[in-house]
Amino acid sequence: MKRLILLFSLCITPALAQQVYKVVNQDGSVTYTDQPLPGAEPVQLGPINNVAMATPKSTSAAIPRTPPAQPTPQLEILSPAEEATLRNNAGNMQIAVKVSHAKAKGRFALYLDGELIKEQLTGVFHLEGINRGAHTFYIEYADNKGKTLASTPPRTFYLHQASRLINP
Protein backbone atom coordinates (compact mmCIF):
# COMPACT_ATOMS: atom_id res chain seq x y z
CA MET A 1 0.00 0.00 0.00
CA LYS A 2 2.80 2.40 0.89
CA ARG A 3 4.53 1.68 -2.41
CA LEU A 4 1.35 2.37 -4.33
CA ILE A 5 0.93 5.77 -2.65
CA LEU A 6 4.58 6.61 -3.33
CA LEU A 7 4.26 5.60 -7.01
CA PHE A 8 1.08 7.66 -7.41
CA SER A 9 2.77 10.70 -5.80
CA LEU A 10 5.74 10.45 -8.16
CA CYS A 11 3.47 10.16 -11.21
CA ILE A 12 1.31 13.15 -10.33
CA THR A 13 4.20 15.51 -9.53
CA PRO A 14 5.11 16.31 -13.19
CA ALA A 15 1.47 17.10 -13.89
CA LEU A 16 1.57 19.78 -11.21
CA ALA A 17 4.65 21.39 -12.74
CA GLN A 18 2.93 23.22 -15.62
CA GLN A 19 4.19 26.00 -17.85
CA VAL A 20 3.80 29.58 -16.54
CA TYR A 21 2.99 32.48 -18.88
CA LYS A 22 3.55 36.22 -18.50
CA VAL A 23 0.96 38.64 -19.88
CA VAL A 24 1.40 42.45 -20.02
CA ASN A 25 -2.02 44.12 -19.73
CA GLN A 26 -3.09 47.32 -21.55
CA ASP A 27 -2.48 49.45 -18.41
CA GLY A 28 1.10 48.07 -18.14
CA SER A 29 0.53 45.75 -15.23
CA VAL A 30 1.98 42.25 -15.41
CA THR A 31 -0.11 39.12 -14.82
CA TYR A 32 1.16 35.56 -14.52
CA THR A 33 -1.06 32.67 -15.55
CA ASP A 34 -0.94 28.96 -16.40
CA GLN A 35 -3.03 29.40 -19.58
CA PRO A 36 -1.49 30.52 -22.91
CA LEU A 37 -3.43 33.73 -23.64
CA PRO A 38 -2.84 35.78 -26.82
CA GLY A 39 0.39 37.80 -26.43
CA ALA A 40 1.58 35.68 -23.50
CA GLU A 41 5.25 34.79 -23.21
CA PRO A 42 6.38 31.55 -21.56
CA VAL A 43 8.45 32.09 -18.39
CA GLN A 44 11.49 29.93 -17.82
CA LEU A 45 11.66 29.04 -14.14
CA GLY A 46 15.04 28.41 -12.61
CA PRO A 47 15.84 25.60 -10.23
CA ILE A 48 14.27 25.75 -6.80
CA ASN A 49 16.62 27.03 -4.16
CA ASN A 50 17.20 24.55 -1.40
CA VAL A 51 19.23 25.32 1.67
CA ALA A 52 20.47 22.46 3.76
CA MET A 53 19.89 23.19 7.42
CA ALA A 54 22.77 22.46 9.71
CA THR A 55 21.79 20.41 12.69
CA PRO A 56 22.10 22.53 15.82
CA LYS A 57 24.58 21.34 18.39
CA SER A 58 23.18 20.64 21.80
CA THR A 59 24.50 23.27 24.20
CA SER A 60 22.83 21.87 27.27
CA ALA A 61 25.30 18.99 27.48
CA ALA A 62 28.34 21.16 26.77
CA ILE A 63 27.69 23.85 29.38
CA PRO A 64 27.01 22.60 32.88
CA ARG A 65 24.17 24.53 34.46
CA THR A 66 24.96 25.88 37.88
CA PRO A 67 22.53 27.91 39.92
CA PRO A 68 23.37 31.61 40.12
CA ALA A 69 25.57 32.48 43.03
CA GLN A 70 23.65 33.90 45.94
CA PRO A 71 25.24 36.94 47.54
CA THR A 72 26.46 36.33 51.05
CA PRO A 73 24.87 38.32 53.86
CA GLN A 74 26.76 41.47 54.87
CA LEU A 75 26.62 43.14 58.28
CA GLU A 76 27.09 46.86 58.80
CA ILE A 77 27.31 48.45 62.24
CA LEU A 78 25.10 51.53 62.33
CA SER A 79 25.92 52.67 65.87
CA PRO A 80 28.05 53.35 67.80
CA ALA A 81 30.77 54.70 65.52
CA GLU A 82 34.33 53.37 65.78
CA GLU A 83 35.99 54.68 68.97
CA ALA A 84 32.87 56.67 69.87
CA THR A 85 32.64 58.19 73.32
CA LEU A 86 29.28 57.57 74.99
CA ARG A 87 28.17 59.36 78.14
CA ASN A 88 25.55 57.67 80.29
CA ASN A 89 25.72 57.46 84.07
CA ALA A 90 23.40 54.43 84.21
CA GLY A 91 25.52 52.54 81.67
CA ASN A 92 22.67 52.27 79.16
CA MET A 93 23.44 52.19 75.47
CA GLN A 94 22.24 50.90 72.12
CA ILE A 95 24.09 48.96 69.43
CA ALA A 96 22.51 48.75 65.97
CA VAL A 97 23.52 46.61 63.00
CA LYS A 98 21.99 46.16 59.54
CA VAL A 99 22.08 42.98 57.47
CA SER A 100 21.91 43.00 53.66
CA HIS A 101 21.59 40.17 51.12
CA ALA A 102 19.98 37.82 53.65
CA LYS A 103 17.76 35.17 52.02
CA ALA A 104 15.99 34.14 55.19
CA LYS A 105 15.62 35.38 58.74
CA GLY A 106 18.44 34.62 61.09
CA ARG A 107 19.65 35.42 64.58
CA PHE A 108 22.00 38.17 65.74
CA ALA A 109 24.49 37.47 68.53
CA LEU A 110 26.26 40.33 70.36
CA TYR A 111 29.67 39.66 71.86
CA LEU A 112 30.94 42.34 74.28
CA ASP A 113 34.52 42.08 75.50
CA GLY A 114 34.69 38.51 74.15
CA GLU A 115 31.55 37.23 75.92
CA LEU A 116 28.15 36.46 74.42
CA ILE A 117 25.80 39.09 75.88
CA LYS A 118 22.57 38.74 73.87
CA GLU A 119 21.09 36.69 71.07
CA GLN A 120 17.96 37.94 69.28
CA LEU A 121 16.11 38.23 65.96
CA THR A 122 16.56 42.00 65.47
CA GLY A 123 19.74 43.96 64.87
CA VAL A 124 19.13 46.56 67.62
CA PHE A 125 20.56 45.71 71.04
CA HIS A 126 19.58 47.69 74.17
CA LEU A 127 22.18 47.27 76.90
CA GLU A 128 21.92 48.32 80.54
CA GLY A 129 24.43 48.52 83.36
CA ILE A 130 27.58 48.61 81.25
CA ASN A 131 30.60 49.69 83.30
CA ARG A 132 32.66 52.70 82.34
CA GLY A 133 35.76 52.29 80.21
CA ALA A 134 36.79 50.93 76.82
CA HIS A 135 34.76 48.06 75.41
CA THR A 136 35.10 46.02 72.22
CA PHE A 137 32.17 44.28 70.56
CA TYR A 138 31.31 42.36 67.43
CA ILE A 139 28.10 40.86 66.08
CA GLU A 140 27.54 37.55 64.32
CA TYR A 141 24.60 36.70 62.06
CA ALA A 142 23.62 33.02 61.94
CA ASP A 143 20.89 31.00 60.26
CA ASN A 144 18.29 29.06 62.23
CA LYS A 145 20.57 26.01 62.31
CA GLY A 146 23.32 28.00 64.04
CA LYS A 147 25.67 28.33 61.06
CA THR A 148 27.42 31.73 61.11
CA LEU A 149 26.67 33.55 57.85
CA ALA A 150 28.32 36.92 58.55
CA SER A 151 30.30 38.71 61.23
CA THR A 152 31.34 42.30 61.86
CA PRO A 153 34.91 43.30 62.57
CA PRO A 154 35.54 44.19 66.23
CA ARG A 155 34.63 47.76 67.14
CA THR A 156 35.72 49.75 70.19
CA PHE A 157 33.72 52.38 72.07
CA TYR A 158 34.31 54.28 75.31
CA LEU A 159 31.66 54.68 77.99
CA HIS A 160 32.09 57.68 80.28
CA GLN A 161 30.24 58.09 83.56
CA ALA A 162 30.40 60.80 86.18
CA SER A 163 32.65 59.93 89.09
CA ARG A 164 30.99 58.42 92.15
CA LEU A 165 33.30 60.55 94.25
CA ILE A 166 31.61 63.74 93.01
CA ASN A 167 28.17 62.70 94.36
CA PRO A 168 27.41 64.64 97.59
Amino acid 63: pLDDT: 65
156 and 85 fall within a common domain: yes
Cα–Cα distance for residue pair 135/94, rounded to 1 Å: 13
| Percent above pLDDT 70 for the chain | 88
Q: What is the pTM of this model?
A: 0.57
* Domain assignment present for 61: no
Pseudo-torsion of CA 61, 64, 67, 68, nearest 10°? -120
- Peptide bond just before 154 cis, omega within 30 deg: no
Whether 78 and 147 map to the same domain: the answer is yes
Residues 6 or more apart whose CB falls under 8 angstroms from that of 19 comprise 34, 36, 42, 43
| Residue of 152, 155, 126, 123 whose CA lies nearest to 139 | 152
Q: Is residue 69 part of a domain?
A: no
Same domain, 153 and 79: yes
Residue 85, domain CATH: 2.60.40.10
**Residue span of the structural domain in which 38 resides:** 18-44
- DSSP 3-state of 161: coil
Q: pLDDT digit string (tens) for 56-99?
A: 776 665 566 777 777 788 999 999 999 999 999 899 999 999 99
Q: What is the mean pLDDT of residues 29-41?
A: 84
